[in-house]
Amino acid sequence: MKGTIASVFKAIEAFHVKVGQIASLGVLLLIGIVVYDVTARYIFNAPTIWAFKLTSFLAGGIYILGGAYVLQQNRHVVIDILSSKLPQRARIILSLVLYFLFFFPFTFLLLKGTIDQAIWSWQVKEREFETVFRAPLYPIKIVIAIAIVMLFIQGMISFIKEAQGLKKNEK
């Protein structure tokens, strides 16, 4: 890989790692909110109207923002019963084919849908109607769209690295 492209990839991946690390710290905030809500509800008989929705949004944000980080770290769940028995070259080819058959089509559809939803939600300042809290939905929809963009970009980087591994394996 050329020096400039490699440095761009490295910078993007470093960003994904940092976002993943920051998102993982959100678990502490999530725990704090749950502890506060449980304490308020059961000790002081004063339930909150905001904690349930906020924990849902926060947990979803943590989960989705970790996607690019997990892909970059190669820590996603892999069922390699068959692929582990294949030679290295065949494993790389299988991985590249699966990227084309599954990863790129599905993340592209997610990308299209989440960006459209985030834009619409921002424009109308969408709110949820399930609780009295009526939490705004557009912030979490924007986070989801950003996370899917990051996942798609990381997928392209991972695909290129896999393809380079195939090229090196040929030598």
Evaluate if residue 32 carries a pLDDT over 80. Answer: yes
Reduce the secondary structure of the chain to three states and give it as a string: CCHHHHHHHHHHHHHHHHHHHHHHHHHHHHHHHHHHHHHHHHCCCCCCCCHHHHHHHHHHHHHHHHHHHHHHHCCCCCCCCCHHHCCHHHHHHHHHHHHHHHHHHHHHHHHHHHHHHHHHHHHHCCECCCCCCCCECHHHHHHHHHHHHHHHHHHHHHHHHHHHHHHHHHC
| Banded model confidence at residue 169, pLDDT cuts 50, 70, 90 | low
Evaluate if residue 51 carries a pLDDT over 90. Answer: yes
pLDDT at residue 38, as a whole number:
96
